[in-house]
Chains A and B, each alone.
Chain A
Amino acid sequence: MHLAIIIPVYNESKVIKKVIADLPGKIKNIGKISTIIIDDGSTDKSGNILKNVIRKKENIYLLRHILNRGQGAAVQTGIDAAKKLEADIVVTFDGDGQHHAEDIAHLIQPILAGEADIVNGSRFKRKQKIPSVRRFYNFSANLITWAMSGFFLSDSQSGMKALNKKAIKEINIKANGYEFCTELIREASWYKFRIKEIPVHVSYSKYTMKKGQSFANGLTTIFKLVIRSLMK
């Protein structure tokens, strides 16, 4: 089994080295692990840091968007690269250091067991400190995702997901920004994929709070989702 870990990166020079260093070298029942990093038009030192990192490591690939297009676009580029590398499983992993690398092994278990096509890493399925603004935004987004896909997930906007080969082949995200999470679930519903949720850890710091979704971003995301659904 070949696992590809996709990491979208936008101006993460402060944390990206550690995020990559923490990734697992080996996982049970996985023969090969590749890391696909998408530099989404970073304007800080992330590009240079990433070039140095890939020189020193094996099975790590760097793709660069010449302009910042958003997390959804970066993830889809990563999925396309994973297809070219003939990956069997893809895991999407945020580049801001909020996810815990040890959760990757748990996340892919339902796929290895043949129980799910997509596994959603849920921050809300375990007790942990999550700012209330995030909880409010996520719950609103969960309702919209449910209305659009029929799936009610506890954390529809999670950046940590695993896809099996079937999902890698079919999923084609058009949304540029954070709204890609909902679009992915909607596509999963369209293709009748089996979705499972697994609790994952999350660490919120001042840095990740500044980088991630805000209430303002959330409203824009919801607005874009509505526009996109009207366009369909």
Chain B
Amino acid sequence: MENFSLYQLLVPTFAVLMILRALSHTGRGGKTTREFIAIFAFWIFVSLVALFPHIFVDKVAAFLGIRSGINALFFFGFVILFFISFRLLVSVEESEVRITEIIRNIALKDFDETNKQ
């Protein structure tokens, strides 16, 4: 426990949220039981990797011969990918706002015309 890191708490918590989210979708017919089982297995695996990195990651890293330099590269890669994803999310959200404005303006224009008659 002395080497316990914050990500070992955050990753399983996030995994539980994702499993509950999938369960909620499954309950409402949005996902099949098979899809739910696959999602459940994936997040359980991710949680186990986070909780016991020496069993999974370290063995794979040792097998591939990854050392700390490459870790830094991966880290920066993730940061860049995160930034790109965030920018995409923001532009999608901005487009959504513009579409809504158009739809709302059409509704209000029709309302004005109906009230004039």
Question: Chain A: residues with CB nearer than 8 A to chain B?
Answer: 38, 41, 61, 63-67, 69-70, 73, 76-77, 80-81, 84, 174, 176, 210, 214-216, 219, 224, 227-228, 230-231
Contacts and interface: CB of A to CB of B under 8 A. Distances in A.
Contacts of B107: 38, 63-66, 77
B112 interface: yes
The 9 tightest CB contacts between A and B, nearest first, are A216-B24, A215-B24, A63-B107, A73-B100, A69-B100, A216-B21, A77-B104, A65-B103, A214-B24
Query: Interface on chain B toward A: helix, strand, loop, or mixed SS?
Result: helix
B84 interface: no
B58 interface: no
Contacts of B112: 84
A176 B30 CA distance: 21
A186 to B, nearest CB: 16
Nearest to A228: B93
A104 B103 CA distance: 29
B111 interface: yes
B96 interface: yes
B111 A219 contact: no
Contact of A66 (B23, B93, B103): B103
A67 B108 CA distance: 14
B43 to A, nearest CB: 14
A80 B28 CA distance: 34
Given A63-B110, A176-B96, A216-B21, A73 B90 contact: no
